[in-house]
Structure 1
């Protein structure tokens, strides 16, 4: 239990964390991987390479320090991280490793500023946070063990079918190797996929949104091929799935997880996606199409051009048979004559949509790159849409 004096000490380190948090977390990761190189198989080395993970941890440590007197306000973040951790099968002993190297890094980076009092306070603070996380994740693991069709750890799935959705995106239809039913899940959730990359001699784990509605037959993930010449580890995994995983291949999957899911606030749902960000929203759309005839639905998608747009036939088919669905498409390059068909030129711009209104009594679901999400959220909130009605998923470490 943190004393009031220790809380004061933690708060006194907030300016240091604001100024040098990334330097601290960078030192921490380097130190931990030096002593425990096996953890490179667990951590996302692509996000390590880009610096995203170091930044995300620095922001998390700062948020914890700023709210040290009332860590309960961080429970939404704790739940989000818990979903990610249980999908990676994180265990309590790994918190001990992280704590040891985080405290050592504080001492090594802050040097004379890391007095015994500061170190003792942060030791107590980390212990408090670790117990909060471990307890929350223990309940999540217990729920998985007690839910029919769920599991803890890894389960083998067979690639039943590969289907090209666009010039960049391919879907993988996955069935259980043991012949059991596909697991149930909440639309919007993801699974972790574990693969070995010979090129870097490491096992890596990535999360992919489930892109179909729940059914008893299969899970579907849809993966974008990366064409950047300077391919990072994240791109290597996506391309490995495209190039090396074929129909009949076996993949190790975690049970579905994630809290970016459909709510039940209003009957109107607005789905706003950029690029591959449409995958969790497609799961939601297909689910609502299968289970409800009372929702008013709006589908807004932005991508570079028609060639890279995935699932166009599926969404067009739903729109043709469902008068409750209105569809709007943005392309970087487009023939202006297509505007009559709900196709617009340029980046997402609500003002271009015919008869568009920002409605307060609607749910808004947003997924895509960070700048895309930030722009959409900014426009919605500036037009009197409550933040409580806006839900978004940022792929990768959280930075928004």
Structure 2
């Protein structure tokens, strides 16, 4: 209880001169003002009673914000209690695979620049990102890269923050897929640069071993694209890995959490506890704070082991396929040649009808010597060979080897290996 000394009332204070002199200077007791005249007129007894009542009330009111009293706290309505404000969203990406694709990296900013950070999230799954206060936030996505080198077009959206309510539908952002052979060298290098920038302002999903694993996965998947500039990509993702290992972040926001929680409800799928703090963060001075209280360095270390999530990286080998052929048979080729009839002309004796071709004069002379009358002749045609058609071969029959498909190399996945701990599956 707060005890305040009540000033003594003297004769000088009762006199008229003193009252007039001090009239403009009121007493301030227990947070209330009293004029000199009020002190004199009320009398010490009545004034003390009033002041004790008022002082007690004042002490209670003071204790409500100073904490100097054991007076009961003033209760608040549920509407006045602080609510966790989150962004609820789902990124749809056709062909994205949780084991082999890189995560989606979301850049989240508010209008006044107080919130500006990056976080790694899964695609095709509703997640929540804790932002602290209500309002509209800009969400810009760095597209993921799949194991075959394909990726997606970058996208952005405005998302309103609301209460952390499982019934919230959230915002859905759909990414348009770009096949591996359609992605340019510049596009792939730009993604690597964006990842390096994201790690500098990343939350716990992009710092430490987790951040280094994300950067390495982007490097591996981008370099599988035949259009990638391997040296440029390795340079940018190498920067990201080094930055992540420093475990420093300029992010101006709490952590990212998944909508689904485990059976105990104290941690969500993304590895964060209920308050949004890192479950794998290093404690300061041998101890660290969780969402519900403090824990010793030993228990924090145990949480680190429990919270480890495998980052499965596809292990591949190259299989060569020879060119494929088939045999095509070609028949012999022919053409038809027409031959006209062959005709010759002969001389026929007009008297005896003999064929005297080439011997006309001798025939006539012989006839006269023998008393004959042969002395003239005429020509007649005779067919030596009739007309006919002949099939002439143009080319012989042959077999030809025709290529059905060219030789090619195929990348085959033989298994998966965790980039952090080396486990395989």
| Structure of higher CA gyration radius | 2
Fold conserved (TM > 0.5)? no
Please indicate the TM-score interval, normalised by the length of the shorter structure: under 0.3
Report which of the two has the higher share of strand: 2
**TM, length-normalised to structure 1:** 0.20
Relative contact order (C-alpha < 8 Å, sep 6+): which is higher?
1
